[in-house]
C-alpha cells in the first residue's frame, strides 16, 4: 500500500547539519521505491500512448523524479520542503494535455501525494453560475468531487472576464485560490489552454500564478507525427490504410494543417471517423465485400474529403 509522504518518517525530520557521518553513510534504497510505486510503468505507458512530445515527457519525468526523491528523503528522516504541485499546461487543442493530466494523476497517487488519483476535467460552465449565489455551490461541488485527485480546468482563462461587470468567474477564482492553498496536500489543480491567453490570465491573476509550480508547454505535432498518430488510431480501431490511402492522408494533412481550427490529434481522429463513414457507404453501395475490405481504408475514402474539394 502506498503511504502518504508525511506518514513515512516516524521521527522528526533532521536538518543537514544535524546528521552524523554514520547517518549520511546509510543506504537509501531508491530502486526499492521505484519498484514499490511502479512509477516507471506509468511513464512507459505515457511514452507508448503519445507520439512525439519529447519536451513534455521529459518534464513529466523530471517532476516524477523530484517527487520520488522527496518521498525517499522523508522516509530516511531528512528535512524536506513540501512540494507545490499545481500546474499549467499550455498549447493548442489536440496536443495531449488531458492524457498527460490523467497520467500525472496516476503518478501523484502512486507516490502518495493524493489519496485517490482520479482526474476531474471541467470547463468554466462547470464552475461559474449565471446568477448571484449560484457560483459558490457549483465550484465547491466540483472541488468536492476532485478532492484526493487532480482537477483539470480546460480553457481556464475563461474564468476571468473583466469586460463583464456582472460576471461571476472571479468568485470561482477566489474559491479555487483558497482551496489550492489550504488543501494542497489533497488536491492538485492543472490549468490548461492556449499559451497566449494563459499568460494574459496569469498577468491578471497574480495570486493564481504564485500557486503554479510547473508550467509545461505542449508543442504542435509535426506532419510525420500526425501520420503516425493516424496509423496508431486505425490500428486500435481494427483498420489499416492502403499505401495509396496513406499517401492521400498525408496530402490531406498537409492541406488541413494550413486551414483554420486545426486541432492536431483531435482533427486526425475526426478525419478518420469521416473516412470510416465513407468506407462503410462505399461497401454498402457495392453490396458484397471480403474481410479485407472491412478493415481497409482506401484512397477514395480520403480523397472525397471537402479539404480536397475546396482546394
Confidence (pLDDT) at 139: 94
101-111, pLDDT tens digit by residue?
A: 999 999 999 98
Q: Using alpha carbons only, what angle is made at residue 137 by residues 131 and 140, rounded to the nearest 5 degrees?
A: 135
pLDDT at site 165: 66
Cβ atoms within 10 A of the Cβ of 130, count?
11
pLDDT-derived band at 11 (thresholds 50, 70, 90) equals low
pLDDT for position 22: 55
Look at residue 158 in the predicted model and tell me its pLDDT: 93
d(CA 210, CA 25): 37
pLDDT at 9: 45
Residues of the chain with CATH 1.10.8.60: 223-310
Residue 271 CA neighbour count, 13 Å, CB half: 31
At 54 the pLDDT is: 93
* Residue environment code for 250-279, b if the CB has 16+ CB neighbours within 10 A, otherwise e: bbbbeebeeeeebebbebbbebbeebeebb
Look at 270 and 82; give whichever has higher pLDDT.
270
Cα 286 from Cα 94, distance rounded (Å): 35
Range of weakest confidence among 20-34, 37-51, 179-193, 279-293:
20-34
Rounded percentage of the chain residues whose pLDDT exceeds 70: 89
Question: Is a pLDDT exceeding 80 seen at residue 174?
Answer: yes
Mean pLDDT on 29-37? 77
pLDDT of residue 19: 54
- Average pLDDT (175-203) is 93
Q: Is 172 exposed, middle or buried (0-12, 13-18, 19+ CB in 10 A)?
A: buried
User: Given a cut of 50, is residue 248 above it in pLDDT?
Assistant: yes
Distance CA 107, CA 96 (A): 16
Q: Are 62 and 73 in contact (CB under 8 A)?
A: no
**Does the pLDDT at position 12 exceed 70?**
no
Amino acid 163: pLDDT: 73
CA 308 – CA 275 distance, rounded (Å) = 13
Q: According to DSSP H, which parts of the chain are helical?
A: 21-25, 30-37, 39-49, 54-75, 97-110, 124-127, 135-146, 169-182, 195-204, 206-210, 223-237, 243-256, 264-286, 291-294, 299-303, 306-310
The top-level CATH class assigned to 223-310 is mainly alpha
Q: Which three cell numbers stand for residue 68?
A: 520520488
| Range scoring the smallest mean pLDDT among 59-73, 143-157, 178-192, 216-230 | 59-73
pLDDT at 300: 95
Give the C-alpha separation, 246 to 130, whole Å.
Answer: 48
**What is the pLDDT at residue 37?**
80
Cell numbers at 171, concatenated: 468568485
Rounded to 5°, the CA angle 84-86-91 comes to 135
* DSSP-derived 3-state class of residue 221: coil
Task: Give the least confident one: 61-75, 98-112, 177-191, 252-266.
Answer: 61-75
The 10s digit of each residue's pLDDT in 205-215 is 898 999 999 99
Q: Tell me, what's the pLDDT at 71?
A: 82
Average pLDDT, the chain: 88
Domain boundaries 5-218, corresponding CATH code: 3.40.50.300
**Per-residue model confidence as pLDDT tens digits over 299-311:** 999 999 999 986 5
pLDDT at 33 over 70: yes
Residue predicted with more confidence, 3 or 63 = 63
Polymer length of the chain: 311
Q: Where are the CATH 3.40.50.300 domain residues in the chain?
A: 5-218
CA nearest neighbour of 60 among 91, 15, 105: 105
Q: What is the pLDDT of residue 7?
A: 46
- The rounded distance, in Å, linking the Cα atoms of 151 and 143 is 8
Amino acid at each position: 500500500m502506498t503511504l502518504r509522504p508525511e506518514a513515512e518518517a516516524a521521527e522528526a525530520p533532521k536538518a543537514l547539519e544535524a546528521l552524523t557521518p554514520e547517518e549520511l553513510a546509510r543506504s537509501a534504497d531508491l530502486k526499492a521505491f521505484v519498484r514499490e510505486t511502479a512509477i516507471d510503468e506509468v511513464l512507459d505507458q505515457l511514452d507508448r500512448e503519445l507520439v512525439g512530445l519529447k519536451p513534455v515527457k521529459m518534464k513529466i519525468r523530471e517532476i516524477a523524479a523530484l517527487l520520488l526523491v522527496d518521498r525517499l528523503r522523508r522516509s530516511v528522516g531528512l528535512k524536506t520542503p513540501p512540494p507545490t504541485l499545481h500546474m499549467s499546461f499550455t498549447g493548442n487543442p489536440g496536443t495531449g494535455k488531458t492524457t498527460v493530466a490523467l497520467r500525472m494523476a496516476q503518478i501523484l497517487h502512486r507516490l502518495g501525494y493524493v489519496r485517490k488519483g482520479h482526474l476531474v476535467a471541467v470547463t468554466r460552465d462547470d464552475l461559474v453560475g449565471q446568477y448571484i449565489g449560484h457560483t459558490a455551490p457549483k465550484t465547491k461541488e466540483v472541488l468536492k468531487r476532485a478532492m484526493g485527485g487532480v482537477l483539470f480546468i480546460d480553457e481556464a482563462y475563461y474564468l476571468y472576464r473583466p469586460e463583464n461587470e456582472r460576471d461571476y468567474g472571479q468568485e470561482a477564482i477566489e474559491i479555487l485560490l483558497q482551496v489550492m492553498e489550504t488543501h494542497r496536500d489533497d488536491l492538485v489543480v492543472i490549468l490548461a489552454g492556449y499559451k497566449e491567453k494563459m499568460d494574459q490570465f496569469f498577468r491578471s491573476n497574480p495570486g493564481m500564478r504564485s500557486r503554479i509550480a510547473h508550467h509545461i508547454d505542449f508543442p504542435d505535432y509535426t506532419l510525420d507525427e500526425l501520420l503516425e498518430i493516424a496509423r496508431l488510431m486505425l490500428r486500435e480501431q481494427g483498420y489499416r490504410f492502403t499505401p495509396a490511402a496513406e499517401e492521400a492522408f498525408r496530402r490531406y494533412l498537409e492541406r488541413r494543417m494550413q486551414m483554420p481550427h486545426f486541432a492536431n490529434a483531435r482533427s486526425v481522429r475526426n478525419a478518420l471517423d469521416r473516412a470510416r463513414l465513407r468506407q462503410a457507404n462505399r461497401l454498402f453501395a457495392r453490396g458484397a465485400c471480403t474481410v479485407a475490405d472491412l478493415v481497409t481504408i482506401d484512397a477514395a475514402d480520403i480523397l472525397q474529403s471537402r479539404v480536397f474539394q475546396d482546394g
